[in-house]
Amino acid sequence: MSETSNWLVHDHRKYDEALEACEMAAEVGEWKNATRLFKEFVKDLKLHMRLEDEVLYPFFIKELGGSEGEIVDLSEEHDDLVRLLRDLAYIIKTNDFDHFLDSIEPLHKAMTEHSKHEENVFRCMNNDSLLAHRDEILARLKSLQHNEGRRTWDF
Ligand SMILES: [Fe+2]
Ligand SMILES: [Fe+2]
């Protein structure tokens, strides 16, 4: 597996673990901790999604000739994830574990499916070219951090 796939897989596993930790804290009634873990997870994921939406996805299409359809599907999955995250951001405030479970379970499932899908798409493409352009990608990412993302996160 290439370095790029490893990087993606590493982040995806990290988010998987973050959701598990959040669920475990809520299960034992540590809502303050669960909320903190959730907020950290969202902050991290926002940057991860921006990197994909605004740097990696366009790069795959423009520079590597990747399929636009595949990228549209992945972007739509991001939209679904944002909706599920918005629900959970609201539900977690109620400190009601049953409602919380009803909200975190579909989110966790959607995250897992999206990660798998994304890893497959990226694996099928030419990761060596991506690695050869790593400096350029990192420079683009740096420039992103100075402006607001185009995705609307109202939480
Ligand atoms: Fe993604
Ligand atoms: Fe990802």
**Sequence spans of domains, the chain:** 3-144
Tell me the pLDDT band of 126, cut-offs 50, 70 and 90: low
Residue 1: pLDDT band (50, 70, 90) is very low
Q: How far is the CA of 100 from the centre of ligand 2 (A)?
A: 24
**CA 121 to centroid of ligand 1, rounded, Å:** 11
Is residue 78 within 8 Å of 151, Cβ to Cβ?
A: yes
Residue that wins the pLDDT comparison between 65 and 46: 46
pLDDT in tens, 57-114: 988 888 778 889 999 999 999 999 999 999 999 999 999 999 999 999 999 999 999 9
Cα separation, 118 vs 124, whole angstroms = 10
Instruction: List CB contacts of 87: < 8 A, sequence separation 6 or more.
Output: 103, 107
Spatial separation of the C-alpha atoms in residues 114 and 76, rounded to whole Å: 10
The number of residues making up the chain comes to 155
Q: From the CA of 15, which ligand is nearest?
A: 2
**3-144 has CATH 3.30.70 classification:** no
**Among 32-36, 97-101, 129-133, which is the least confidently predicted range?**
129-133
Ligand at shortest distance from the CA of 53: 1
Given a cut of 80, whether residue 132 has pLDDT beyond it is no
Distance 28 CA to ligand 1 centre (A): 30
Residues around ion ligand 1, judged by CB within 5 A, are: 52, 118
